[in-house]
Amino acid sequence: MESMTSLERTMAVLDHKVPDRVPVALHNFLMAARMIGADFGEVMRSGEILAEAQLTAWREFGHDVIMHENGVCAEAESLGCEIHYPSDSAPHVKETILKSLDDVGKLSIPDPEKTFPLNELLKATRILVKETRGKVFIMGRADQGPVALALALFGPENFLLAAGDETLRPRILQLLDFTSRMNVVYGEAQRRAGAHGSSIGSVGTSLISPQMYTELELPGDRKFSSAMRAVGCRSFVHSCGNETRMLTRLISSGADCLELDPLTDPKTCKQTTQGKVSVLGMLDPHGVLRRGTVDEIRNHTLDIMRIMAPHGEFMMGPGCSLPPETPAQSIHAVMECARTAGAYGADGSLPALNS
Ligand SMILES: [Zn+2]
């Protein structure tokens, strides 16, 4: 018997309390766009249609956390990058804006309420908050973390070459200070629009070394987490790929929750994060949720819950964005597992999962 709303359930996890059952968070902006059958380029540029897509998915599945965004280019576009919006996949950067590190000082932070597409995303947040009537956790994602946004503005090769050059390091740090401020300004605007939480995407070990993470990414992740805490917004740091070696560093960002996928070893993850930070994700979006049979999805979901869910601090969902063609039945299977096997006993164990 469920005794909490989705919002209460999710807040319990973030407050290190045991909820009634494991909450489910869906990283599904592409799948949601596909569910309403509209051209992705149109969906990703309209607050109304983005909200309609998310509400369509939420009415179908009844998940607890709505994670909304239009991809990883929103802040880059608001700063002047040219963005390509394909009709059936996520937008990407067509033209960077920063041609030389000498020009970092010329960048200025736009007003998110007046600047496309941030204004549309904030509109979507307001609609989602209103339509779900305070019962669901709305995450308005700030998406690109400090390094990822710098890569979008300056180009990945330019950035990585400059980051390795000691003489250019001060300019790189100046750029990262700017991108980090952009994250904070947009995250604060998401909070004002009613979002309960916001998230930034960290560039993990797939691109940079743990030492580079500490020097370049971590200061911005910390600033974001503490700025969100100051305005009563829950902070999430997303890092997909194998981040097992990075867990203690990610925890030290001070985020309320880490978004991880199963390439990070779940057992090590549970041991390392327990009592320190909540974890969102750990289900395999591509190999299992997109392609698996219902039985495979159920087994995978139960396996992950068995490791991650005891004593709370866990919300279940895909560890990264679901592919557009993910079958609805996959998500129904995950929801069913959460509603039945994911129910907590008073001691924080999951009786149905172990019987
Ligand atoms: Zn990811």
Q: Is residue 145 part of a domain?
A: yes
Tell me how far the alpha carbon of residue 253 lies from the centroid of ligand 1, in angstroms.
17
Q: Is residue 114 part of a domain?
A: yes
Tell me how far the alpha carbon of residue 318 lies from the centroid of ligand 1, in angstroms.
9
Tell me how far the alpha carbon of residue 147 lies from the centroid of ligand 1, in angstroms.
14
Q: Is residue 109 part of a domain?
A: yes
Rounded CA separation 5/308 (Å)? 21
Q: Is residue 166 part of a domain?
A: yes
User: What residues form DSSP beta bridges with 280?
Assistant: 259, 315
Q: Is residue 353 part of a domain?
A: no
Predicted pLDDT of residue 355: 67
Domain hosting residue 117, numbered range: 27-278
Question: The CATH number of the domain where 44 resides is what?
Answer: 3.20.20.210
Kindly state the greatest CA–CA separation across the chain: 63
Q: Is residue 296 part of a domain?
A: no
- The total of structural domains in the chain comes to 1
In the chain, alpha helices (H): 6-14, 29-35, 40-44, 47-61, 74-78, 118-131, 146-154, 156-163, 169-192, 210-212, 218-230, 247-251, 266-273, 294-308, 328-340, 351-354
Predicted pLDDT of residue 1: 67
Tell me how far the alpha carbon of residue 92 lies from the centroid of ligand 1, in angstroms.
15
Tell me how far the alpha carbon of residue 261 lies from the centroid of ligand 1, in angstroms.
8
Tell me how far the alpha carbon of residue 89 lies from the centroid of ligand 1, in angstroms.
15
Tell me how far the alpha carbon of residue 171 lies from the centroid of ligand 1, in angstroms.
28
Tell me how far the alpha carbon of residue 2 lies from the centroid of ligand 1, in angstroms.
30
Predicted pLDDT of residue 216: 96
Q: Is residue 21 part of a domain?
A: no
Q: Which residues of the chain fall below pLDDT 70? A: 1, 355
CB atoms within 10 A of CB 281: 28
Tell me how far the alpha carbon of residue 203 lies from the centroid of ligand 1, in angstroms.
9
Classify 263 as helix, strand or coil: coil
Tell me how far the alpha carbon of residue 346 lies from the centroid of ligand 1, in angstroms.
34
- What is the pTM assigned to this prediction? 0.97
Residues sharing a CB contact under 8 Å with residue 164, sequence separation 6 or more, in sequence order: none
How far is Cα of residue 323 from the mean position of the Cα atoms in its chain? Answer: 15
Q: Is residue 302 part of a domain?
A: no
Residues 159-168: contacts with CB under 8 Å, at least 24 apart: 160/207, 160/208, 162/101, 163/212, 163/216, 168/101
